[in-house]
Amino acid sequence: MKKIYLFLLLATISLASVQSQVLDPVKWSTSIKKISETEYDLISKATIEDKWHLYSQVVPDDGPLPTNLTFEENSAYKLVGTAKESKGHTVHDPVFDMVITFFENTATFTQRIKLTGNEGTTVKGEVEFMVCDDTRCLPPSYVDLVFKIPAPDKNAATAETPENEETPEATTEIIEEVIVVDSVKTEVAKDTVQAATDRSLSAIEQNKKHEKKGLWTIFIVAFLFGFTALLTPCVFPMIPMTVSFFTKQSKTRAAGIKNAIIYGLAIIVIYVFLGAVVTGVFGADALNALSTNVWFNIIFFLLLVVFALSFLGAFEIMLPNSWANKVDKQADRGGLIGIFFMALALAIVSFSCTGPIVGTLLVEAASKGGIAPFVGMFGFSLALALPFALFAAFPGWMNSLPKSGGWLNTVKVFLGFLELALAFKFLSNADLVLQLHLLEREVFLAIWIAVFGTLALYLFGKIQLPHDSPLTHISVGRLSLGLIVLSFTIYMIPGLWGAPLKLISGFPPPMQYSESSYGVGYTKLSSGATVSADHDFPEGAHLGPQDILSFYDYETGLAYAKKVGKPVLIDFTGYACVNCRKMEERVWSEPKILKLLNEDIVLISLYVDDKRPLPEGEEVTSEISGKKLRYIGQKWSEFQILKYKANAQPFYVLMDHDEENLIDPVGYTPDIEEYYAWLQKGVGAFKK
């Protein structure tokens, strides 16, 4: 047995030296833990490669494929409850627009059983799962699990198998499974190896650029938030007062500038410290979970409504005056400590204006995880602190500042309308998770149209609120902003009848979460025309993503392509593939790409996670694992691996009628120009 194990181990190492596009990022191991003489925990542990994630056992409808453990029926034992899983990461997925839990690095699933007799037994099971990284998803995989339960031993009543110890049978089974999958990799040609390596390096580089871009986006948005907070009635009047204090109280101009800079740095320290405290107390993962929790979303909706009403003038929200008084006394001490407490006083006094903005920003930044909360708070506080340092250094610039007046309240009211609109996004999140269908897409858009329409009327001076100054005329700036808001309001109206509204993608509920996406009995075509739902398509054809005519069967689609004289685009995809949806919604929707897909190409979409059983008589045994294929998706997954030596989705192949590639296949390609150039080159090669 040891020799066999050593041979398998050496074979694994040698095969691992051959790289390809066939990926196997999850390894499973099993162990048992004795609870009592008759009860045992069956532990299935997944070890997940870096950057990949495995989904939870519980996933909302129409979401990705959940992890599913099944066990063979056996009279020697019975299952106690359902399998428990370790704690994962819970996030709101913007593509599926739902809350999803997944695992990184490791995941443990524990199923308790109770023996029904006095004999030991072997428990056989299977785990079905899918994994994704930032650029691709793999098709569903099936791994056998084996647990050998020893017969009760009265002389070793306290013996138990350590949680991390694997049974020999399970270890052998898992290694054999890995070897079977890896054996496919030896069939890859050397040029394919190099191409796969190049694509992997490109994907890694894209991931790094995406992370940097995400942090820069957070910083810029936070900076704009800080600048907006600067223009509120709570903060703006403090600029000349504070700068004047530093320039007059300091013995020299240089000292005044230095103190003002220290004041600005103190503001940054306070807000960045706030981000650190929130993240440190709750943890980035906990904040992630909070931001997607139903009750948190409802509470945050109510909070934003309260903040919005405060901005609109219904009441003032202020921290206790005693706090401000105590801080003011400390500020009188002078020196660095006094300057710091002056900055803290600004944060407390301006809370009624900055609180809602900071709260919203913290939740949004924390949902990104990592250092995002620090970056967000730094951007916000930098915008808030810069004017104090700059105006202290250049007092003459103060003359160019507009005077305080009614326009400051207009800014505050404008923020109030934005807060009110944003509040319904959180209520929508809760409604989506609970699937109550109370805030469907049409209702959500109707509310936003009403909110922004009212804001436009306010900016045009048709509506006045409690703290507004008398409006004798409308400034050019206010008129321009009003026109922008009105245009945005009009832009949203067609969304009530199914328009995609890309400008606000991710805010309203998804298209399928609506009363009727296109209208009863009609289907919208990408060309803009409409046809009745019973329109005659070519045999085997369907309306796919972006209403592109597509085939779900390889042979049928290839026969049609030969008939019409067009090249074939094989789209290896999945119903639960996040990045497939990104490509369909953000890349395929581009007019020039959509035109190519509609007019010059025959699309064959092969869903590797199609759980429909194979028709009777078409069941085959896998050439890869030796197991019997049960589902249509397994058939297309094996086809992709055997023919193209790849198993990630999305995966696109452009080929001619002889089933020869017109151009090297590509995977996830979010760059529109790059994907368009790839399509053009392939179609051009077909026409030569």
Within 10 angstroms of residue 321's Cβ, the number of other Cβ atoms is 10
Q: Classify residue 568 by its DSSP letter.
A: E
Which helix (H) or strand (E) segment holds residue 106: the answer is: strand 106-115
Region 622-642: mean pLDDT is: 83
Task: Say how far apart CA 585 and CA 155 lie, in whole Å.
Answer: 64
Fold of domain 26-176: Immunoglobulin-like (2.60.40)
Confidence bin at 527 (pLDDT 50/70/90): very low
611-617's contacts with Cβ under 8 Å and 24+ in sequence apart are 611/140
The answer to whether 103 and 88 are in contact (CB under 8 A) is yes
Closest CA to 128 of 145, 140, 137, 139: 140
Low-confidence winner among 40-49, 178-187, 273-282, 436-445 (lowest mean pLDDT): 178-187
Q: What pLDDT is recorded for position 203?
A: 41
The answer to whether 621 and 628 are in contact (CB under 8 A) is yes
Q: Classify residue 614 by its DSSP letter.
A: P
pLDDT digits (tens, 9 = 90+) for 420-438: 888 888 788 777 766 677 8
SS3 492: helix
pLDDT digits (tens, 9 = 90+) for 124-174: 898 988 888 766 677 778 888 889 888 766 554 444 444 444 433 333 333
Task: Say how far apart CA 629 and CA 488 lie, in whole Å.
Answer: 52
User: Cα 270 to chain center, whole Å?
Assistant: 30
Structure tokens at 430: 């809760």
Give the domain ranges of the chain. Answer: 26-176, 224-406, 526-687
Task: Say how far apart CA 340 and CA 170 lie, in whole Å.
Answer: 62
Residue 45 pairs in a beta bridge with: 29, 108
Within 10 angstroms of residue 596's Cβ, the number of other Cβ atoms is 18
Q: What pLDDT is recorded for position 45?
A: 93
Q: What is the dihedral of CA 150, 156, 160, 165, to 10 degrees?
A: -70
pLDDT digits (tens, 9 = 90+) for 446-499: 999 999 999 999 999 888 887 777 777 888 888 999 999 999 999 999 888 878
Rounded to 5°, angle at Cα 506 from 503 and 507: 85
Closest CA to 26 of 169, 178, 165: 178
Region 395-399: mean pLDDT is: 65
The answer to whether 640 and 604 are in contact (CB under 8 A) is no
The answer to whether 288 and 369 are in contact (CB under 8 A) is yes
The answer to whether 422 and 429 are in contact (CB under 8 A) is no
SS3 180: helix
The yes-or-no verdict on residue 666 having pLDDT over 80 is yes
Q: Name residue, tokens 């981000």.
A: 275
Average pLDDT, the chain: 74
SS3 318: coil
The yes-or-no verdict on residue 418 having pLDDT over 70 is yes
Within 10 angstroms of residue 110's Cβ, the number of other Cβ atoms is 17
Using CA atoms, how far residue 448 sits from 78, 419, 493, in Å, is 54, 11, 10
Region 165-188: mean pLDDT is: 34
The answer to whether 598 and 683 are in contact (CB under 8 A) is no
Rounded to 5°, angle at Cα 112 from 109 and 114: 160
- Look up residue 610 and give its amino acid: D
Task: Say how far apart CA 471 and CA 410 lie, in whole Å.
Answer: 11
Confidence bin at 386 (pLDDT 50/70/90): confident
Region 378-388: mean pLDDT is: 83
Q: What pLDDT is recorded for position 503?
A: 82
Region 614-623: mean pLDDT is: 78
What's the order of all strands across the beta sheet hosting 68-71? 68-71, 121-129, 141-149
CATH of 526-687, one of 1.10.600.10, 3.40.50.720, 3.40.30.10, 1.20.210.10: 3.40.30.10
Q: Name residue, tokens 């160019």.
A: 400
pLDDT digits (tens, 9 = 90+) for 52-107: 888 888 877 666 778 988 888 888 888 888 889 988 887 766 555 567 888 988 99
φ, ψ of residue 650 to 5 degrees: the values are: -75, 155
Task: Say how far apart CA 359 and CA 317 lie, in whole Å.
Answer: 14
The answer to whether 364 and 347 are in contact (CB under 8 A) is no
SS3 559: helix
pTM, full prediction: 0.47
Which helix (H) or strand (E) segment holds residue 112: the answer is: strand 106-115
Region 674-684: mean pLDDT is: 93
Q: Classify residue 41 by its DSSP letter.
A: E
User: Between 253-282 and 372-393, two packed helices, what is the crossing angle to 10 degrees?
Assistant: 170
Confidence bin at 533 (pLDDT 50/70/90): very low
Pick the more confident residue, 594 or 184. 594
Q: What pLDDT is recorded for position 251?
A: 61
Share of the chain above pLDDT 90, in %: 17
Share of the chain above pLDDT 70, in %: 65
Whether omega for the bond prior to residue 150 falls within 30 degrees of 0, making it cis, is no
